[in-house]
Amino acid sequence: MFGSTVRERIKMSVILKKAVWTCSILLFASSLAGFPADTSEKVDIEKIIRERVDNGWSVGTVVGLIDSNGPRFYSYGKLSHGGDQPVDENTIYEIGSVTKVFTSLLLADMVEKGELRLDDPIEKFLPDTVKVPMYDGKKITLEHLATHTSGLPRMPDNLTPKNARNPYADYTVEQMYDFLSNYTLEIDIGSITEYSNFGAGLLGHILARKAGMSYEQLVVDGICNELKMDDTRITLSPAQEKRFAKGHMGEAEMPNWDFLALAGAGALRSSAQDMLKFLAANLGLNKTELYPAMQNTHKARHEAESPDMKIALGWHVSTKYDTEIIWHNGGTGGYKSFIGFHPKKKIGVVVLSNSTQSIDDIGYHLLDGRYELEAVRKTAKIAPEIFEKYVGKYELQPGVIFYVTMEDDKLMVQLTGQEKIQVFPESEDKFFSKIVDAQITFLKDNNGNVDRLMLHQGGRELIAHKMGFLGDY
């Protein structure tokens, strides 16, 4: 996203240079399984997801709810933009970082079986040639990886993908070992929570190495077979491929993400049907052999970066409104996912979308109505000639520039080093992205000339000054 950061202490110049602009009426398809839904629930959910799809925030969205009355599913949209196959509870999506919850459950289950301990140092499970960094003599443990308290960074600096749209596809175990052996920890292990895709991927690798099989096979044998989750896989069969939603950024179809060494961080694909089976087991609505391990993953163990958040084994624990919601979300190049449950109310929710716009607010709202839904911004009808006065270069910081252009009556924006995307008018001078929650307002000087733009994202407002029209440079 615009202005995204890995660590709070990184200077704004680095934040901006690493910024990423991430992340037709469609046929309605709704299905119910097991028990009838409350009429108001059905109307509310259908309205929410219909509005998102019809306004271009998603191509196809599926919502699943589970409680003591059984599972219910609501879906709207299609597998691909311009296609004719509707999504439903059996549609398969990339679930991205929700994979981390499966990785942490594998860890907890192996602990439950006495195969390893949470406080085992990770060097115990790696080749002798790998030098695991320490801090003041303290060693990284399995629990540190599962709770993002290892001190390892979000991403390794030797991840240099051949294809930026499929960033993990060629990152090898050898590269993982090399990064680990040469990394110097900058913070005390266990002192703070800093989300680490690298750490979660390393944990998945360690568990698979311990079990003597691939990460995917470990998930299938250790979780999916027990819960009868036949559509939760990394490698899909030809039949599953036909139900695999295409990922999108706006209306543009995006490639799927593939993983090698870091599979435990985000490689899984799944359906709403399977994810409700997983949530039902976590809630104890369907007792399984995994339930004791699942309960262990739910326990809050560390403070998180937000004052209303704690971190468990893999899971996030929201403590807002004096209640607990246990959840995780995920996002890849063309998908968003959310799973969560309210342990006291015994309610679980899954939301899956084949677009990059966040759907977390839907999941939160369905678990606790005090969490408000994000307003869905709608495109205003603005004469394309008005766009022309916005065309130009806008300097956010030396070397970091917004390029504003027009293409076929569309206003396009590109940040230095990032892809060009379309922004849509909400009013004559306010525009928004359908890819991420980010907006731009064009500002004028005292003479009525457009001389700045303001970026609104993540609670921040950043000003970029116009340098002149593109033709002048």
pLDDT number for residue 232:
98
Residue position matching structure tokens 């925030």? 57
Do the Cβ atoms of 435 and 23 come closer than 8 Å? Answer: yes
Specify the range with the lowest mean pLDDT, choosing from 18-22, 333-337, 453-457. 18-22
pLDDT number for residue 384:
85
Q: Long-range contacts made by residues 292-297, C-beta under 8 angstroms, separation at least 24?
A: 292/112, 293/105, 293/108, 293/109, 293/111, 293/112, 294/105, 294/108, 296/108, 296/111, 296/112, 297/101, 297/104, 297/105, 297/108
pLDDT number for residue 117:
98
pLDDT number for residue 417:
84
What is the tens place of the pLDDT at every residue in 393-449?
999 989 899 999 999 889 999 999 888 889 999 999 999 988 878 899 999 998 889
Do the Cβ atoms of 106 and 218 come closer than 8 Å? Answer: yes
Write down how long the chain is: 473
Q: pLDDT tier at 39 (50, 70, 90 boundaries)? A: low
E strand or H helix that includes residue 145: helix 142-146
Cα 49 to Cα 71, 328, 356: the distances in Å are 18, 20, 15
pLDDT number for residue 394:
95
Q: What is the mean pLDDT of residues 242-255?
A: 95
Q: 454: buried, middle or exposed (CB in 10 Å: 19+, 13-18, 0-12)?
A: middle
Domain spanning 91-367, CATH architecture: 3-Layer(aba) Sandwich (3.40)
pLDDT number for residue 33:
31
Do the Cβ atoms of 427 and 380 come closer than 8 Å? Answer: yes
Q: Which of 399, 392, 167 is nearest to 262 (CA)?
A: 167
Distance CA 165, CA 177 (A): 24
What is the tens place of the pLDDT at every residue in 194-206?
999 999 999 999 9
Q: Where in the chain is the domain with CATH 2.40.128.50?
A: 384-472
Q: Which residues pair with 30 in a beta bridge?
A: 74
Do the Cβ atoms of 77 and 59 come closer than 8 Å? Answer: yes
273 residue type, one letter: Q
What is the tens place of the pLDDT at every residue in 45-76?
999 999 999 999 999 999 999 999 999 999 99
Helix (H, G, I), strand (E, B) or coil at 466: strand
For residue 315, the 8-state DSSP code is -
**Cα torsion angle, 246, 248, 254, 258, sign:** negative
Specify the range with the lowest mean pLDDT, choosing from 93-107, 127-141, 393-407. 393-407
Whether 6 has a pLDDT exceeding 80, the answer reads no
Whether 314 has a pLDDT exceeding 50, the answer reads yes
Question: Whole-prediction pTM value?
Answer: 0.84
Q: What is the mean pLDDT of residues 90-118?
A: 98
pLDDT number for residue 376:
86
What is the tens place of the pLDDT at every residue in 252-287?
999 999 999 999 999 999 999 999 999 999 999 998
Q: Which of 41-55, 334-348, 381-395, 403-417 has the highest mean pLDDT?
A: 334-348
Do the Cβ atoms of 453 and 440 come closer than 8 Å? Answer: yes
pLDDT number for residue 38:
58
pLDDT number for residue 468:
65
Q: pLDDT tier at 3 (50, 70, 90 boundaries)? A: very low
Percent of the chain with pLDDT over 70: 90
Do the Cβ atoms of 219 and 102 come closer than 8 Å? Answer: yes
For the 384-472 domain, the top CATH level (class) is mainly beta
**Beta-carbon contacts of residue 256 (< 8 Å; ≥ 6 apart):** 94, 166, 247, 332, 333, 334
What is the tens place of the pLDDT at every residue in 143-177?
999 999 999 999 999 999 999 999 999 999 999 99
Distance CA 289, CA 313 (A): 18
**Cα torsion angle, 201, 203, 206, 211, sign:** negative
Q: Where in the chain is the domain with CATH 3.40.710.10?
A: 91-367
Whether 242 has a pLDDT exceeding 80, the answer reads yes
Distance CA 198, CA 237 (A): 28
